[in-house]
Amino acid sequence: MTVLLALPVLLPLLGAALSLLLGTRPDLQRVIGMTVLSAVVVIASVLVYATDTEGPVVLQLGGYAAPFGITLIADRLASLLLLVSAVVTLAVLVFSIGQRITDYGREIASTTFQPAYLVLCAGVSLAYITGDLFNLFVAFEIMLSASYVLITRRTSARRVRAGMTYVIVSLTSSLLFLTMIGLVYAATGTINLADLSVAFRDLSPGVQTSIALLATVVFGIKSALVPLHFWLPDSYPTAPAPITAVFAGLLTKVGVYALIRTHTLVFQNDVVWNVLLVVAILTMIVGALGAIAQEDINRLLSFLLVSHIGFMLFGLGMATVVGVTGAILYVVHHITVQAALFLVSGLLTRRTGTVSLREMSGVAKSAPLIAALFAVPALNLAGIPPFSGFIAKITLFRAGAESTTVLAYTATAAAVLTSFLTLYAMTRVWVGAFWGAKREPFPDDDPTDELTVGTGLTNRPMVFATSVLVAAGVVIALAAGPLSAMSERAAEDLMGGDQYRGVVLTEGRG
């Protein structure tokens, strides 16, 4: 079982290297990418079962015991997010294979996409299963290095400007992250998360609070929390649909995962919990208000992405088992729903030739399946029952109702208001893009890339991949019972921390 733990990182890296060598054979690149990510889905499924039934799985690399060696560990939270992320990356890869072109101009995609994409997937996997701060930093840098390539492919002036903002903010965050690691090591003599959770308690309250707040800023930038969110709406909408989908679905959630992991295991602090609740309120409201002011569908979805990060922060800031359970459920739900919405946006922009809601209309008449693919995740994101968004929000509302603080009640009210604003924003998209007079589809220079005339579809693999993610959101709702129970067990593990520390600081499990 411990060998399986390294494969979600090793397989994508090996696949990326082989794919790069086969740069002149895009057909073989596709086979490699599909095979590797399918294998990661299977491995993640096995890890979910193993961690839920037998406890965390630990691998001490090189045989060096913690805290001196490099530790990889998968518990319930890590394995669950690894599985959901693997499903999303596989679906997005299918979409990109079907697309073969950028959203504008119908240009042939370059063969650098597959290697960079697989490297990105390796970074995401490493972030979930690493057991120390430095390798969490390495995971973020792997993801960011690959994302630099992906976000600036087929460069234009607009993408260069957006890429510069993305790079500058990411490098600033990386510098702050390294500074935090240096301060933590200087204060405690360790960066292993399990060992650090013990050593951190011996620091003075002022030092604890300062380091915890710095960690909140570092991971807050990566999660796009208000007021550290400004880079996201300017960066994500410029990339092609599959790249934007995987960025929106995964990269910010890895930042949220880092917040959940470090702030429950190490940086537990009453001041920080209150700061997280205040930031959650601002993130929900500011993001939602920004969304309803947009006419560009991708910018609208980007602001909603920011807004709904606030729901996850709300659950974490409650610092209770119920609150963290809600946060976990919301992360799982949001990864699939947000990625699906950006893929639907890709189908829309490909069909209409524009991202402006003012220039779209009548898509429900010309492409009813695309309308249905939008409606389901849109209602899901707004939290309409019986979808998974409703289930996650009910858990968060329960956490807020069980609290006795004014701040928690305020956060609950903000979450309710944000849900209505989200529904309003989704209604604007529906009215602008799907209602109204029917328009002719945007012409495609490659006739073979279209389906049978009259179906209203753009491309079978693209529609299939989008349908899979939409269906995944529905499956999460259908599996609400066992998923909620597992999320609660994961939250209990996180808030306790004894099991995590016990398995890491011993020999590990075989």
Query: If the chain, 510 residues long, is cut into consecutive pieces of 10 residues, what is the mean pLDDT of each piece?
Result: 88 93 81 94 95 90 80 93 95 85 46 87 95 93 88 67 78 92 92 91 91 93 89 78 88 93 89 93 95 90 94 93 95 94 89 82 83 92 89 93 90 95 93 76 51 48 90 92 93 88 69
Question: How far is residue 65's CA from residue 73's CA, in Å, rounded to a whole number?
Answer: 13
Residue type at 166 in one-letter notation: Y
Short-list 140, 138, 332, CA closest to 223: 140
Query: What pLDDT sits at residue 373?
Result: 92
Question: How far is residue 116's CA from residue 122's CA, in Å, rounded to a whole number?
Answer: 10
Sequence-distant (≥ 6) Cβ neighbours of residue 25 within 8 angstroms: none
What's the gap between Cα 342 and its chain centre? Answer: 12
Q: Is there a domain that residue 447 lies in?
A: no
Short-list 374, 314, 318, CA closest to 344: 374
- Alpha-carbon separation of residue 385 from 56, 130, 379, 389 (angstroms): 33, 36, 8, 8
Q: Is there a domain that residue 326 lies in?
A: yes
Question: How far is residue 83's CA from residue 42's CA, in Å, rounded to a whole number?
Answer: 8
Angle between helices 388-402 and 297-318 (to 10 degrees): 40
Short-list 135, 255, 261, 265, CA closest to 200: 265
Question: How far is residue 98's CA from residue 94's CA, in Å, rounded to a whole number?
Answer: 6
pTM of the model: 0.90
289-301 burial, b at 16+ Cβ within 10 Å, e below that, comes to ebbeebebbbbbb
Q: Where are the beta strands (DSSP E) in 11-162?
A: 57-61, 70-74
For the beta carbon of residue 398, count every other beta carbon within 10 angstroms: 17
Residue type at 358 in one-letter notation: R
**DSSP code of 247?**
I
Q: Is there a domain that residue 44 lies in?
A: yes
Question: How far is residue 371's CA from residue 364's CA, in Å, rounded to a whole number?
Answer: 5
Question: How far is residue 440's CA from residue 359's CA, in Å, rounded to a whole number?
Answer: 12
Tokens of 38: 């399918």
Question: How far is residue 498's CA from residue 493's CA, in Å, rounded to a whole number?
Answer: 8
Burial of 4 (0-12, 13-18, 19+ CB in 10 A): middle
Q: Is there a domain that residue 103 lies in?
A: yes
User: Left, alpha or beta for 479 (phi > 0: left; psi -120 to 50: alpha)?
Assistant: alpha
Question: How far is residue 435's CA from residue 505's CA, in Å, rounded to a whole number?
Answer: 59
Q: Is the dihedral of CA 415, 418, 420, 426 positive or negative?
A: negative
Rounded to 5°, angle at Cα 147 from 154 and 26? 55
Query: What pLDDT sits at residue 508?
Result: 43
Q: Is there a domain that residue 449 lies in?
A: no
Residue type at 492 in one-letter notation: E
Query: What pLDDT sits at residue 107?
Result: 46
Query: What pLDDT sits at residue 406?
Result: 92
Q: Is there a domain that residue 454 lies in?
A: no
Q: Is there a domain that residue 445 lies in?
A: no
Domain residues for the domain of 116 are: 2-440+460-504
Query: What pLDDT sits at residue 454?
Result: 37
Question: How far is residue 390's CA from residue 387's CA, in Å, rounded to a whole number?
Answer: 6
Total count of domains within the chain: 1
Rounded to 5°, angle at Cα 123 from 487 and 69? 85
**DSSP code of 108?**
B
Question: How far is residue 156's CA from residue 263's CA, in Å, rounded to a whole number?
Answer: 40
Question: How far is residue 266's CA from residue 206's CA, in Å, rounded to a whole number?
Answer: 15
Q: Is the dihedral of CA 251, 257, 263, 265 positive or negative?
A: negative
Query: What pLDDT sits at residue 103?
Result: 44
Q: Is there a domain that residue 451 lies in?
A: no
Phi, psi of 73 (to 5 degrees): -145, 135
